[in-house]
Structure 1
Amino acid sequence: MLRQCPIAIDPSGRNVHAEAARLRELGPIVKVVLPGGVPGWAVAGHEALRELLADPRRVSKDAYRHWRAWIDGEVTHAWPLSIWVSVQNMITAYGEEHTRLRKPAMAGFGARRVAALRPRVEAVAAERLDALAELPADEVVDLRAHYAHEVPTRVMFELFGIPERSWAMLHKIINGFFDTGISVEEARQNSVDLYETMADLVAYKRAHPADDLTSAMLAARDDENGARLTEKELTDNLILLFTAGYETSVNLISSAVDLMLRHPAQRELVESGLAAWEDVVEETLRLEPPAANGFLRFAVEDIEIDGTVIPAGDPFIVSFASVGRDPALHGADADAFDITRPSRGDHMAFGFGIHYCLGATLARLEAAVSLTALFRRFPEISAAGCPGRLPRTESFISNGLRELPVRLGPQRVTG
């Protein structure tokens, strides 16, 4: 009976983990009502999700082809979350279209390209720490705003070749993009601002091409027929890559710092050499995935898992917040932060299958470098806010802190 009662997803995301736990208790596949009164499903079990995403033929992210309510006009562009399904990029494409749209961006996030970025990531982190070092040691600093936010965004600006004139507007737009509680009017204006800003970027890079991802995608061609990406495909892919790359890393770094400050015994493991910062990154991704829910997928055909059927044409979300804490995989202490946990890397924070995040390697690098530099520079850093009660992003999609107040303490003395 409980499985038949839809769970209303809270658009504010005020307590994503409590909501995720409730979904998981009801079963691996649960009926939900999405913000705006849209009916759908949630996948809350680790094994169910792996099974669901293992065969890309059964699952789509293309609303125009496979979401019955979108095709029939029951859900329209007036829906505040419509931009998440109306864009036409690699993440909303299906089959061969997904391959075609993903290919131009792959080179920009390859292992060699990301490895080559390490010195620049280290330099940006050092620059931001130099600025923080100018502040009084006992002053309360919002580390999210002044460090966790600054390092990945500056790296992304450089990677995409975004001119400084667009930085402030992009910060504002992305905050609105992930705020799933905004009004229809605010969502519509944010969409207009986003497309105008990206159109300006494309025009600028056409006039000033350089060794950056935007220029590379402008020049990209389909190997089979020589056709360039359409203007909308190019713009929508840029929107996806930049917004996802920004939000993922900011949330990951902020959450990792917060967790380490609240668990000094875990920090001691790293400092004693019994664990590495990369272990911290993986356990943070498991426990506090940067995206609480993956939004939005559609059943191409009737899909039955564990006795529950998602009918063809129905939408569903993926609860990363739930699957990362699934006790069936991670044990009875799945809610605990343990960087030595054997299953710490067995998560789906970056997705699974053909839609696995292109920027996963870069996000991991940015987080590990940022954490290493921060705790090395300020070994006495401490939390200044109420542990475990810091304000969080108002979103059921994004999972992160709105602020991270700390006292940095004195810098490490080097000889």
Structure 2
Amino acid sequence: MENHCPVTLDTAGQDVHAEAERIRENGPVARVELPGGVLAWSVTGYEEAKKVLSDSRISKDPQKWPAFTSGEIPSNWPLIGWLLMDNMTTNDDPDHMRLRKLVSRAFTPRRVEDTRPLIEKTVHDLLDQLEEAGPDEVVDLKGRFATPLPARVICEMFGVPESARNAVLRGAGVNVTTSISGDEAEANVEKWHEELYELAEIKRRTPGDDLTSVVLAAREDDGTRLTDEEMVGTLHLMLGAGSETLMNALSHAVLALLSQPEQRELLEAGQISWDDVIEETLRVQAPVAQLPLRFATDDIEVGGVVINKGDPVLMGFAAVGRDPDVHGASAAEFDATRTDKTHLSFGHGSHFCLGAPLARLELRIALPALFARFPDLSLGVRPDELEPQGTFIMNGHSALPVRLGSPVPASI
């Protein structure tokens, strides 16, 4: 059986969950239409996603996409940024493993734990700044806390100078925005590439105690190192994924607790833990809605359809965590008491996210600190009044208006 009724993905990302359910109605692997009329497959089923993510016949290399290599996909295609990065997420083995091995030296358990003081300081600095607002003033918690926290942490870790931070983070934000024109996307790739190349050059000339310098200095056993293009591509990945995804996870966790007071009461009573809140948030509100792109290198049967050789594939992570075949009729509901919080929000298989331990650590530090400092925190608007982020790639809101209430003095 093959589905011939593709769901056209909404470039404005007005309701990624409703869209995901429309896709799921056509099966766990179903046709979608990308900008420019490009047909692809979206995987929304949990078991099907695990199969696709671990199948060596599904490539991450854009050179395995005939439409791209033949020139059918123009240089100003709105998603062109996802095809031009040269890093471990756009390579297959053996290059993928070579790049992952080099980059993983920046994410050892020791190096992740070493970031704890940086995360704690950043969290408390941001909370101090929030205290400047009045208790009844409506402030954007996403803009003033959830966004700058991971941005500052990842920029500090990779030694991005203050003067360059707005530029490199702007590039990451534009890259996940699907409502821009193709010309804007093409210009962003070029500009972002230049900015990150300049950063890499600075670190080559004057290495420091930062992860960019660590990755630049990393060598394979045979002496090979990252090429300039691979280094720039790696910075694309780390700075983008390290900021864009965590801000949505943090915002969604806060929103869940503020919009479902009974869950917050369970947390305060010790009946659920912060880890329960974090994992349930990652399950029901995967930070990435539709991750581009993978490419079939052979005809592959999965989920009752045949993905033909050369077809592009997206991972519908926002739907995967809500698969009713795994989580039942309540799959779309946030319930941190549920025993099974199975999700694939950090991926699966060889491309599992290297930054997952860092993301969890940031969430474990930020969430308790926020609610301890502002115990009367409340939403400034109804949940249905929140505006979407403006993309079908990410799952988030453009802002999270809250009232902070009276702060409790910081303990550290």
TM-score (norm 1): 0.96
* AA at the equivalent of 2:16: V
Q: Could you give the per-residue CA deviations for residues 145-168 of structure 1, whole angstroms, max 9, x where no partner exists?
A: 111111111111110000000122
| Superimposed CA distance per residue, residues 300-337 of structure 1 (whole angstroms, 9 cap, x where no aligned partner) | 21110243110111111111111111110011011111
| Counterpart secondary structure, 2:330 | coil
2:57 aligned with 1:61, yes or no? no
- Could you tell me whether the CA contact under 8 Å between 1:77 and 1:86 is conserved in 2? no
Residues 141, 407 of structure 1: 8 Å contact kept: yes
Distance in 1 (alpha carbons) for counterparts of 2:323 and 2:201: 46
Paired residue for 2:170?
172
Question: What's the CA shift for 1:401?
Answer: 1.5
Q: What is aligned with 2:31?
A: 31
| Paired letter, 2:333 | A
| Cα distance in 1 for residues equivalent to 2:247 and 2:189 | 22
1:156 pairs, out of 149, 154, 157, with 154
- In structure 2, how many angstroms separate the alpha carbons of the residues matched to 1:192 and 1:23? 33
| Identical-residue share of aligned pairs (%) | 46
SS in 1 for 2:402: strand
Pick closer, same or farther for the CA change 1:74–1:175 going to 2, 3 Å: same
1:383 is aligned to 379
Other-structure match for 2:76? 78
> Where do residues 15-414 of structure 1 align in structure 2 (5 Å cutoff)?
15-55=15-55, 57-64=56-63, 66-223=64-221, 225-344=222-341, 346-412=342-408
CA distance in structure 2 between the partners assigned to 1:250 and 1:414 by the alignment: 23
Equivalent pair of 2:2/2:305 in contact (CA under 8 Å): no
- Report the 3-state secondary structure (helix = DSSP H, G, I; strand = E; otherwise coil) of the residue aligned with 1:256: helix
1:2 Cα deviation after fit: 8.4
TM superposition shift of 1:413: 5.7
1-structure distance, mates of 2:306, 2:61: 20
Aligned partner letter, 1:40:
A
Report the Cα distance in structure 1 between the residues aligned to 2:72 and 2:217, rounded to whole angstroms. 38
Contact 2:105–2:215 under 8 Å retained in 1? no
1:414 Cα offset (Å) = 7.8
- Cα distance between partner residues in 2 of 1:126 and 1:78: 42
> What is the deviation of 1:52?
2.0
- 3-state SS of paired residue (2:180): coil
1:152 counterpart letter in structure 2: P
Name the stretch that deviates more: 199-208 or 158-167.
Answer: 199-208
Q: Give the secondary structure class of the aligned counterpart of 2:39.
A: strand
Q: Is the 8 A contact 2:2 2:306 kept in 1?
A: no
Cα distance, 1:93 vs. partner? 0.1
CA distance in 1, matches of 2:110, 2:264: 30
Tell me how far 1:242 sits from its aligned partner: 0.9
Q: Displacement of 1:78 after TM fit?
A: 2.4
| Structure-2 residue corresponding to 1:4 | 4
SS in 1 for 2:385: coil
Structure 1 consecutive aligned stretches of length 4 or more whose deviation exceeds 6 Å: none
Shift of 1:273: 0.8
Counterpart CA distance in 1 for 2:73 and 2:132 is 52
Tell me, which stretches of 5 or more residues in structure 1 are unaligned?
A: none
- Coordinate RMSD, CA, aligned: 1.5
Separation in 1, partners of 2:229, 2:175: 18
Q: Provide the TM-score with structure 2 as the length reference.
A: 0.97
Give the conservation status (yes or no) of the 8 Å contact 2:300–2:307. Answer: yes
